[in-house]
Amino acid sequence: MENNIIKEIKEIKKEVSPRPEWVKQSRALLLKEIAADSRPATLGIFDYSRFISQLFRQYAFEPAVVMLLIFATFLGSSLTLNAAFYSLPGAPLYRVKIALEKTQLALIPGEKEKIELKIEFAQKRFEELNKIARQTDVAPEEKTQQIKEAVAEFKTNVAAISTHLNKIKETIKQLDENKTVGQDKDQTVMMAISASAKTEELIKSIDQTIESLSETEKAEVQEIVSNVIKSAQEAGQSAQELKDQLSAEGEIKGAATSTDQAVETPVQSAGTTTDNTTQD
């Protein structure tokens, strides 16, 4: 019986259809009521994060989206790195600058390369110190604090030069005497000479910059500057000792080689004379 009723209702539905005008008016009325009762939805952080995560899952591996993400990341990083590069002690991004330098240093395996990089960083600290010394629109207390921070970072870099030089000296003692090592020693000697000259130059430059400060500023940083100069002198001394050590080893090796050649020459000459006599 229920099946018959359903069949009859379907037949009536086919025969009866609402007027188009009525459908249009009813639709407009319903939309008006919905608009009146609805309030604008406020999206929270969770809604945004869910949308972004869904979008990422859906499109993250599309080439265009990947390139866009890389470009956005690179652009943001470049702006930050550029600002950090020109920052001075006391600025918010200065610590970022120092952290990037430490990261750069950690990625370099060789001690000689680390020394060259540390000298470069020390030169940057000196340039920062010069800029701070020339500032006239900064409060005296702030300027003094900036000078102290720049000088402290300079001392850290210079002290590290001595550490790396001492590591090289210990390593040199364990190296075998062969051609490759000899070439490496030659490069190390040149590096030691350069490190000694540059640290000496930095000491003179620091002295000149400190002399340009006011008496009050010099009094504030006198102790830390004295420690810096001492560290720089120690670095220069370590470089000189390394150079002398390698040069002495080279002279000893050269003397030994000359002696061997002198011993071999008479033997070869005697052999030649004997052969000639026999042939005659």
**Mean pLDDT, rounded, for 122-135:** 89
Distance (Å, whole) CA 151 – CA 69: 40
Residue 115 burial (C-beta neighbours within 10 Å; 0-12, 13-18, 19+): buried
Backbone angles phi, psi at 85, to 5 degrees: -60, -35
Q: Are 144 and 213 within 8 A, CB to CB? A: no
Instruction: Indicate if the pLDDT at residue 262 is higher than 50.
Output: no
Residue 275 token pair:
């052969």
For residue 51, what pLDDT is reported? 46
Q: Are 226 and 182 within 8 A, CB to CB? A: no
Q: Percentage of the chain surpassing pLDDT 70?
A: 54
The model's confidence at residue 71, banded by pLDDT at 50, 70 and 90, is very low
Q: What sign has the CA pseudo-torsion 128, 132, 138, 139?
A: positive
The model's confidence at residue 265, banded by pLDDT at 50, 70 and 90, is very low
CB atoms within 10 A of CB 28: 10
Between the alpha carbon of residue 33 and those of residues 36, 52, 201, 259, the distances in Å are 5, 33, 84, 111
Q: What is the residue-wise DSSP string for 208-242?
A: HHHHTS-HHHHHHHHHHHHHHHHHHHHHHHHHHHH
For residue 50, what pLDDT is reported? 52
Q: How confident is the model over 144-174, as pLDDT tens digits?
A: 888 888 888 888 888 888 888 888 877 776 6
For residue 258, what pLDDT is reported? 41
* Least confident segment among 75-84, 111-120, 149-158, 243-252: 75-84
DSSP 8-state class, residue 92: T
**Mean pLDDT, rounded, for 269-274:** 41
The model's confidence at residue 48, banded by pLDDT at 50, 70 and 90, is very low
* Least confident segment among 103-117, 204-218, 265-279: 265-279
Highest mean pLDDT out of 31-35, 88-92, 124-128, 267-271: 124-128
**Mean pLDDT, rounded, for 74-92:** 68
**Mean pLDDT, rounded, for 21-38:** 58
Q: Which residues contact 145 (CB under 8 A, 6 or more apart)?
A: 89, 90
Backbone angles phi, psi at 30, to 5 degrees: -65, -45
217-248 burial code (b ≥16 CB/10 A, e <16): beebbeebbeebbebbebbbebbbebbebbee
For residue 180, what pLDDT is reported? 44
For residue 31, what pLDDT is reported? 57
CB atoms within 10 A of CB 110: 11
The model's confidence at residue 175, banded by pLDDT at 50, 70 and 90, is low
The model's confidence at residue 256, banded by pLDDT at 50, 70 and 90, is very low
Q: Look up residue 199 and give its amino acid.
A: T
Q: How far is CA 186 from the centre of its chain?
A: 28
**Mean pLDDT, rounded, for 136-141:** 85
Q: How confident is the model over 203-219, as pLDDT tens digits?
A: 888 888 888 888 888 88
